[in-house]
Amino acid sequence: MSPARAVALVLIAAVTATVVACKPGDNGASGGTTQPPPSASPVCHEGHDCSAEPSAGTSVPGSPSPSAPNPTVSASVPVPTFTDKPPQAQYREIGMNCTVNHRLNDDPVVFPGQPGVSHNHSFVGNPSTDANTTTAEKLVGGQTSCQDKKDASAYWFPTLMQNGTVVNPETVTVYYKSGVKDYRTVQPFPAGFRLLVGDMRTPSAEQFGGTWNCTGYLGKEIPPSCPSGSSLIVRYQAPSCWDGVHLDTSDHKSHMAFPVDGRCTGDHPVPLPMFEMKVPYKLPGGVTAGLAYSSGPSYSFHYDFMNGWDQQRQAEVVAHCINGGRQCNGLGVDRHKP
């Protein structure tokens, strides 16, 4: 072997040894100490902010907690047979009045077990709701600020501020309606069900899924002013077709979808009640300047739900009011035939 070739072989062997000793992820120091992998980027849930980046397997305040496997129902749910021509019914809804009972920087759906890290929310329904209400079952049998005392559910939405001062809503109305043509097919919310409606990161008023109104105005954002004495009202309807399996999902939304041509189809074949949240505010002199939510501009409005109903009572109310084609008050009584 020539001296030149021998030198070349020695150099190749040395380079190979160096490559093996310094694998990707190693620091190249003696002993081959392994560097930790880069932290995974957080998955930010629609409707809520997510600014911090948790390391893998940790929970950092201000970021969604690592999720347990998405909860599911324990038995299969029957898929109803729809008809496009059910018996005519002018109404098929329950309108339940509720009052705000507390405010917290908590969100038990998106930030479970992390008190104080969310933007401020106004809570109606169950007064015990806080960051440690980590399952809907914890609500059942509790108190409520809504009309039906068997509904211990929790409902919450961002707090409205005017120049930094909290604006108290008037009576909040939570509607349970039929979102499908065949109102007779609507089923009660299953035990343990949770849902987030809307998105605080909606980029513009034009893309807002709700409406704002006061006397003489209906639009996608807060008007420049309202007539004195008129309430400023935000309304937002929720999707009402369920996948029939998941009680919640990692984004708290994808287990639900909107009806298509008045039917629940495809991967979301089960009709549940359609929420419509109505939140009215009385403003002195109708002045709307300086209004903003704790979550951002007016079109950042969104709301959450955790089912705390007595299931038998909820089934009775849904059957009587929605399936029965009636317009009921918050006690499940027909407004037209009490």
- pLDDT tens, residue by residue, 124-160: 999 999 999 998 889 999 999 999 999 999 999 999 9
Mean per-residue pLDDT of the chain: 84
Task: Determine phi and psi for 168, rounding to 5 degrees.
Answer: -80, 130
For residues 281-294, give the mean pLDDT.
Answer: 96
Whole-structure pTM value: 0.80
Amino acid 338: pLDDT: 66
Q: What is the pLDDT of residue 59?
A: 39
Model confidence band, residue 69 (pLDDT cutoffs 50, 70, 90):
low
pLDDT at 64: 44
Quick one: CA torsion of 10, 13, 15, 21, rounded to 10 degrees? Answer: -140
Distance CA 112, CA 78 (A): 31
CB count in 10 Å sphere of residue 331: 13
Is the pLDDT reported for residue 42 higher than 90? no
**E strands within the chain?**
93-98, 100-104, 121-125, 154-158, 160-162, 165-166, 172-177, 194-198, 211-214, 217-219, 231-237, 241-242, 256-257, 270-271, 274-282, 291-293, 302-306, 327-328
Average pLDDT over residues 90-111: 96
Q: What pLDDT was estimated at residue 83?
A: 83
What average pLDDT does range 286-305 have in this prediction?
A: 96
Burial class (CB in 10 A: 0-12, 13-18, 19+), 227: exposed
Mean pLDDT of 165-175: 97
Determine the Cα–Cα distance for residues 206 and 270; give it in Å rounded to an integer: 30
- Between 215 and 17, the more confident residue is 215
The pLDDT of residue 300 is: 96
pLDDT tens for each residue of 178-218: 999 999 999 999 999 999 999 999 999 999 999 999 999 99
Lowest mean pLDDT among 9-18, 102-111, 311-320: 9-18
Q: What pLDDT score does 21 carry?
A: 38
- Whether the predicted pLDDT of 315 surpasses 80: yes
